[in-house]
Structure 1
Amino acid sequence: MPKFDEFDLAILAALQDNARATNVEIADKVNLSPSPCLRRIRLLEEAGIVKGYRADLDRQAVGLELTVFVHFKVIRHNRENADEFQQALVEIPEVVSCYMISGDLDFLAEVVVENLAAYERLLTEKLLVLPQVTDIRSNFAIRNVKTGGKLKLPPMKS
């Protein structure tokens, strides 16, 4: 884990609160002058700690009414097979997140689509035809309780 000091952690927290804040606003919030604050932000970006900035959209407001958690079991557990499967999921825009998991199934993907008919098309035309898949199980979200939560940053180590 990279070594962060109190300023780095404060900057990361401030960016999670409002990534659109100006450098001056962030510097003021973390008690740094603007130049060192901007230098630290750039270093956090270059190190890949800050991976990017994006808008958090209201899914229903943009017509994406259905969230589905899709569990996959894949055939032949080897690196090549896993890499091919992962790349296939990365290329499907409806898959908004995906994890390799432990347990009875191998992968868990979060899929966001317009409605049940759109999910049926995605399932039959893209997911079920993936050669690595031996089993798919779908769980439909009833209500969104929390998404896009801020990360609880670990305390500084002395």
Structure 2
Amino acid sequence: MRELDETDLEILRLLVSDGRRPYNEIADAVNLSPPTVSDRIDRLADLGVIRRFTVDLDRSLLADGVSVLVDLRAEPGRVGDVRAAIEEIEGVEHVFVTAEGRIVFQARLQENAIEPLLDETIDTTAVREYDVSLLVDSTWYPQPRGVEFALECDECGNSVTSEGESARLGGEIYHFCCSSCKSQFEEQYEELQEAV
């Protein structure tokens, strides 16, 4: 398994700035052939570095409500449930979870609709308190600056280095720090599949 290099990071920068950029244009920028760029992008997707290609809408040009920032404090042990419910709300664009159990999200909602919306979609006993702020503007900069490739072993949680291994099981790709972890994980996976 090869580590992420400067060329991979440059490909990511180019894709973040324009996800529809043609491979031949990326290839020219990084001095590779278009098929090599395609292979690298496929590998980045297989590794989970690229999760999906999407569209970044300028919602200020669309008449679909007002932009708000909501800061919720979830009850202990209920953060996952509240987050899952928030992610299902139409108009939610960004969701952030803090270590102390706060869930902050940006959404475009109809005026005066936040309270009824939360009552309809979230178990209110799971929320201690919330605060809503009207947003005037927001900007998102998803650039891969100063990052290093850091996969965790799916078996033991250690960092996966260039000597690590990967395996595709049941359509999912898993990463391991060593062949021992890979073998152990595959054995457990097969046992669980047989039990089902």
TM-score, normalised to structure 1's length?
Answer: 0.80
1:15–1:21 CA contact under 8 A, matched in 2: yes
**Deviation (angstroms), 1:151:** 1.5
TM superposition shift of 1:58: 1.7
- Per-residue CA deviations over 1:132-156 (Å, capped at 9, x if unaligned) read 0121111111x21x42323142167
Unmatched segments (≥5 aa) in structure 2: 150-196
Aligned length: 148
- Alignment match, 1:150: 142
In the TM superposition, what is the alpha-carbon distance from 1:41 to its structure 2 partner? 0.6
For residues 1-158 of structure 1, the aligned pairs below 5 Å read 3-75=3-75, 77-78=76-77, 81-102=78-99, 106-113=102-109, 115-127=110-122, 129-141=123-135, 143-144=136-137, 146-154=138-146
What is the Cα-based RMSD across aligned positions, in Å?
2.4
What residue ranges of structure 1 are gaps of 5+ in the alignment?
Answer: none
Question: In 1, are the aligned partners of 2:12 and 2:144 still within 8 Å (CA)?
Answer: no
Larger Rg computed on CA atoms: 2
Letter in 1 for 2:60: Q
Match of 2:162 in 1: none
State the Cα deviation string for residues 28-55 of structure 1 (Å, max 9, x = none).
Answer: 1111011111100100111111121122
Identical pairs, percent: 26
Contact 1:59–1:65 (Cα < 8 Å) also in 2: no
- Supply the distance in 2 between the matched residues of 1:85 and 1:156 (Cα, whole angstroms): 31
What CA distance in whole angstroms lies between the structure 1 residues aligned with 2:102 and 2:6? 38
CA distance in 2, matches of 1:33, 1:69: 44
Shift of 1:24: 1.1
User: What SS does the aligned partner of 1:60 have?
Assistant: helix
Secondary structure of 1:107's match? strand
TM-score normalised per structure 2:
0.66
CA shift in 2, pair 1:88/1:156, >3 Å: closer
Which residue identity lines up with residue 5 of structure 2 in the other structure? Answer: D
